[in-house]
Amino acid sequence: MNSPTIRQALLNRRMLICIFTGFASGMPLYLLISLVPAWLRTEGVGLKEIGFFALIGLPYTWKFFWSPLLDRYQISFFPRFGLRRSWMMATQVLLFLSIASLGFFDPTTQLWSIAWLCVAIAFLSATQDIVLDAYRRQILPDNELGLGNSIHVNAYRIAGLVPGSLSLILADSLPWQQVFFITAGFMFMGIGLTLSITEPQSHKRHPTTLEKAIVEPFKEFFTRQGVKQASLILAFMLLYKLGDSMATALATPFYLDLGFSMTQIGYIAKHAALWPMIFGGILGGILMLKIGINRALWLFGLVQIISILGFAVLANIGEGLWLLGLVISFEYLGVGLGTAAFVAFIARSTHPAFAATQLALFTALTAVPRTVASSATGIIVEGVGWENFFYLCTVLAIPGMLLLFKVAPWNSSQEPDA
């Protein structure tokens, strides 16, 4: 791909849509993993309880169970919107209402109510992810899949600035009720997207029965790859980001425990994480054009492992805004690089005819470390301390790397299946 082709791809309307799908998709997730833990911690909730709050993200790991419904049925409440857009509008409106409602609850007396509301937000967010992924797959031609997904992921990360930075800063001077209402208002970017786009025209591939919508995507994947190789690919998707996800699961409480204020976290920690991650994603996309997806997974995965150790250094020293920014910048540079290659690998593993359910399955697997495994992080930290916890996360990143020998060998340059 030469430079003019890249410029032409960057300047088309499909890439603009990918920016908005990324923002709408990322905002609810970062609310759950950044803003809610900070809110609970400042209200006196213990680390153990906050750690278990990671379980509210289980809908992200289960979303493939109901993804066939989104391929088969339209929301009748929005008859003129079509299959994809009706699901977008329904989930986005309900996300706005649910997020705005959080501030009406008291964490000291209504923790279970907050937990169930957060589960509802996670369910709606996961459902929105299914339809946005399917829509993006349908509007992007094959030669723009890598670029479009890279833009989507970077916009997804930028969305983290709202609950992970702006909302934290506002929380120092505004009541939490107002903070959550302002945060919810950013869902109107997704609603605006849904109102301004058109329904994809490629209806022929939509399954005609619910049975076909459920069975055929799984049958196609295991037939194309073979049962053994397909199983290894799924295991790799589960493990590749395990150590990285656990290391960042309690990032905000970690910074607070080191003595940094919410404003410092908002201005320094969050920006030091975001921009290197975006730069890493862009750099990763460019490098993959030269070295391929397989080698990128190897090299970027090694960077991820090494960067986790920076958190152990920060835990050992325990102070210094410059060190906070430096350690987080390097860690999230690795996150950006690794994610760029990982998302490209996931896209390569899907078949266009069954993208909605297959993408839901694959992305659900990638969410398991962030939910199930990360739910135990609070217990681990209280048992071994922050520094030893990060050493453990480094070790847990190794099994996913070892699977590369089978799913993405260094000297292999597997291309997407036709």
pLDDT in tens, 78-135: 888 888 899 999 999 999 999 999 989 998 888 899 999 999 999 999 999 999 988 8
Q: According to the model, what pLDDT value does residue 122 have? A: 94
Average pLDDT over residues 331-342: 80
- Global pTM reads 0.72
Cα separation, 239 vs 397, in Å, equals: 7
How far, rounded to the nearest angstrom, does the alpha carbon of residue 225 sit from its chain's CA centroid? Answer: 26
Of 30, 61, 37, the C-alpha closest to 381 is 37
pLDDT for 4: 38
18-55 pLDDT tens trace: 899 999 999 999 999 889 988 998 888 888 888 887 78
Interval 276-298: pLDDT, tens: 877 887 777 777 767 777 888 89
User: Is residue 416 predicted with pLDDT exceeding 50?
Assistant: no
Give the residue, 401 or 321, on which the prediction is more confident. 401
Instruction: For the chain, list the domains and their CATH numbers.
Output: 3-407 (1.20.1250.20)
- Amino acid 320: pLDDT: 74
Helices (H), 11-110: 13-30, 36-42, 47-52, 58-62, 67-72, 82-101
Q: How confident is the model at residue 1 (pLDDT cuts 50, 70, 90)?
A: very low
Residue 205's pLDDT is what? 60
Q: What is the 3-state secondary structure (H, E, C) of 168-215?
A: HHHHCCCCHHHHHHHHHHCCHHHHHHHHHCCCCCCCCCCCCCHHHHHH
The kind and range of the H/E element at 239 are helix 227-239
**Cβ atoms of residues 99 and 66 within 8 Å:** no
Distance, CA of 248 to CA of 245 (rounded, Å): 5
Whether 399 shows a pLDDT value over 60: the answer reads yes
302-327: per-residue pLDDT in tens? 988 888 888 888 888 877 788 888 88
Tens digit of each residue's pLDDT (9 = 90 or more) over 197-232: 988 875 456 666 777 778 888 888 888 888 899 999
